[in-house]
Structure 1
Amino acid sequence: MQHPKFILARFSSIGDIVMAAPVVQALRAHYGDEAQIDFITLNKFKGATELIAGINSIYTVEKSTVEVTPQLKENGYDYLIDLHSNVRSRSLARSLNILTFKINKLGAARLSLVLGIRKRPVDHFIDRSLKLLSPFSISECTDNPWGEIAFSKPEMELPKKYLALAPGATHIGKRLPESSIDAICSNSDLPIVIVGGSDDTDLAKRFEDRYPSKVISAAGVCSLKETAHIMKYAQVAVGGDTGAMHIATAVGTALVSVWGCTRPSLGLYPWRTNPKSIILQPEGRDNRPCSRHGARCRYKKLGKHLCIKDVTPERITSAISSIL
């Protein structure tokens, strides 16, 4: 087979889709421009997929893969690389009826970590994804494993040097406390550009108003490509276990990642990150995650504060200073 046709499936979310980039890069490096490498995701995450170089076509669905199945069948794919292994991707595999390579989500192992049964960290999601390519004798692309992440310059004027801050998250156990954000803003010698989605707009605006000569809010007004630009040209990026963390990693920026109710042991830590990057975990609490997605904190049930508050503002500002 000279010119294979691949369809990759990952339906959510931003960080998980960005982590598909090394798979696309490895396929493209092995087969060159002749291979067809397409991607299917949810409509609302198309922007994340557009960050990945080397994809020929992106297909999106609102709910079900049935929406695009006829078109995908016409394309005559040879292989499905299933990076999600959920109801949608399994439905797609049945419909296309082609050779499928499915990610091992290690659900039982990750749950065992949360329950405290397992101590050993699970393999990183990207390493597990790349193993799917072993039947093709393809390994990680060592020269540039992330590929060229797409970015575009925002319309807003950015300082020549700045710190990129991504304080928000979908789940409360991953959000930076306001006390930590305030410490970062008050101690930074660099201007700060706050990035995030529309849910982070009010928070970013409060700190922009509090530090008008230092903080610029880009939350809710920048596309993901513009956010990637902000991350790429920052002197340092700071954030929790979120999609912004993976974008910063992919563009090679030194990163301070602040961990709360999730832990790096779940296999979603910054992969092949800038060597200056620093991971901060809660002090005084073990490495056992409270939940797989950061939605629950087991210490909160005991009347204590969220895990992420045990990464003190002083530790965060010290880590930033050590990188700069």
Structure 2
Amino acid sequence: MSTGFDHLAPDILAVRFSAIGDLLLTTPLLRAIRTRHPGARIAVLTKERYVPLLIDNPNVNEVFGMDPDEALRQVADLIRSVEYSHLLDLHGNLRTLALRRMAPGPWSSFSKARVARAALIFAKRNLYRRTIPMAERYFEAAAGLDVEPDGSPPEFFLSAKAVERVAARLTHLGVGGGPALVAIAPGAAHATKRWPPLYWLELAKRLRATGAEIVVLGGPDDMPLAEWIASSAAPGAVSLAGMLELQETGAVIKRSAALISGDTGVMHMATGVGTPVVALFGPTVREFGFFPYRSERSTVVERTLGCRPCSSQGGARCPLGHHRCMRQIAPEAVYSALCSVLA
């Protein structure tokens, strides 16, 4: 019986444990592999909670979800049970290094430019020869597969059920039927990536004054802030923070005219569903590779400061105590940026 796969085609496993943005930034590579090797079997290993980001991607044959309590040894056993022709380490951390030792094979990885990154953070010396987006750095791991970036953005494929659930919920809440629905995501995993709450509220009120409806997104930790913004800007503003699955969040963003967020995973969700983004960058910079990728109608709002960058991922507090990188981004500047991407 035919398996539907060319027995001479590559059998590939890509490993990226987390997180939202990082997973979605692998999709240009997965798409390029599928285009170059139509008969390949492509599998991805990630944490269980991130499986929805790729489960409906037609370029992927299988997504393995790793349970939080699952031992790395069990994962290594899974890898050894299949004779993969290519093992792509798209994470490049101590955990994947340990996994590569437990499950030897045709592994390849990519450079994280750690020296250049550290020099820029700690010495403010730019040793980057050129800025390579993270989505393109992943291609280094697939050098043996003869693939190149195609110039298109990431892809976040949504199930019909997720889209239907979101449509029904927005209708029930009484939003989404006006001239424009704008999604905002005020939260971030690290405090220094967060724009001040009062700025979000000022922006939300400005949007409501123009007739735009607002949906506030985020995780469970963002619920108090999201509900405060929505209730203060109501009517016409609602919070869905902490209430949505990953694909449902993507479906809300897809229905929106634009997303406004910090340097977070939802920003990459937006590029993945084709929604324009206004992204607010503070402690992190373009050189790290995480600006919105290949999104023509998106823009980044940032301020040129000598203390930037102070971290590659953000931190619990500003090292200098002033947080100017975010505080100096005025709500009016963000509103103007939004008008530009929607023009």
Scaled by the length of structure 1, what TM-score is found?
A: 0.91
What is the identity, as a one-letter code, of the residue corresponding to 1:244? Answer: V
CA RMSD of aligned residues (A): 2.0
Give the secondary-structure state (helix, strand or coil) at the position aligned to 1:156: helix
Partner of 1:9: 15
2:188 matches 1:169? yes
**What do residues 232-274 of structure 1 show as CA deviations (whole Å, max 9, x unaligned)?**
221111000000011111222111100111122221111101x
| Cα pair 2:215 2:238 within 8 Å, conserved | yes
Task: Provide the C-alpha distance between the structure 2 equivalents of 1:213 and 1:165, rounded to a whole number of angstroms.
Answer: 16
Unmatched segments (≥5 aa) in structure 1: none
| Cα pair 1:125 1:267 within 8 Å, conserved | yes
Q: CA deviation at 1:65?
A: 2.6
Task: Provide the C-alpha distance between the structure 1 equivalents of 2:307 and 2:143, rounded to a whole number of angstroms.
Answer: 32
What is the identity, as a one-letter code, of the residue corresponding to 1:47? Answer: P
Partner of 1:22: 28
1:42 pairs with one of 39, 47, 57 = 47
Partner of 1:309: 327
Give the secondary-structure state (helix, strand or coil) at the position aligned to 1:245: helix
Partner of 1:204: 226
2:271 pairs with one of 226, 249, 255 = 249
2:297 matches 1:276? yes
Would you say how many aligned residue pairs link Structure 1 and Structure 2?
Answer: 318
Q: 1:148 to 1:224 in 2, by over 3 A?
A: closer
Task: Provide the C-alpha distance between the structure 1 equivalents of 2:116 and 2:146, rounded to a whole number of angstroms.
Answer: 27
Q: 1:38 to 1:293 in 2, by over 3 A?
A: same
What is the identity, as a one-letter code, of the residue corresponding to 2:158? Answer: A
What is the identity, as a one-letter code, of the residue corresponding to 1:166? Answer: A
**What do residues 6-25 of structure 1 show as CA deviations (whole Å, max 9, x unaligned)?**
11011111111111111111
Task: Provide the C-alpha distance between the structure 1 equivalents of 2:33 and 2:307, rounded to a whole number of angstroms.
Answer: 35
| Cα pair 1:26 1:145 within 8 Å, conserved | no
**What do residues 142-182 of structure 1 show as CA deviations (whole Å, max 9, x unaligned)?**
4x553463352224125033001111000011112112211
Partner of 1:156: 169
1:86 pairs with one of 85, 88, 93 = 93
2:61 matches 1:56? yes
1:126 pairs with one of 135, 149, 164 = 135
2:198 pairs with one of 179, 186, 189 = 179
| Cα pair 2:14 2:45 within 8 Å, conserved | yes
User: After alignment, is 96-105 or 42-51 more displaced?
Assistant: 42-51
Task: Provide the C-alpha distance between the structure 2 equivalents of 1:305 and 1:131, rounded to a whole number of angstroms.
Answer: 35
Give the secondary-structure state (helix, strand or coil) at the position aligned to 1:132: helix
| Cα pair 1:236 1:255 within 8 Å, conserved | yes
Moved over 6 A (4+): none
Q: 1:303 to 1:294 in 2, by over 3 A?
A: closer
**What do residues 212-239 of structure 1 show as CA deviations (whole Å, max 9, x unaligned)?**
2121111111111111111122111100
Unmatched segments (≥5 aa) in structure 2: 1-6
What is the identity, as a one-letter code, of the residue corresponding to 1:93? Answer: R
User: After alignment, is 223-232 or 124-133 more displaced?
Assistant: 124-133
Task: Provide the C-alpha distance between the structure 2 equivalents of 1:235 and 1:120, rounded to a whole number of angstroms.
Answer: 38
Give the secondary-structure state (helix, strand or coil) at the position aligned to 2:169: coil
User: After alignment, is 43-52 or 175-184 more displaced?
Assistant: 43-52
Partner of 2:340: 322
Q: CA deviation at 1:47?
A: 3.1
What is the identity, as a one-letter code, of the residue corresponding to 2:169? Answer: M
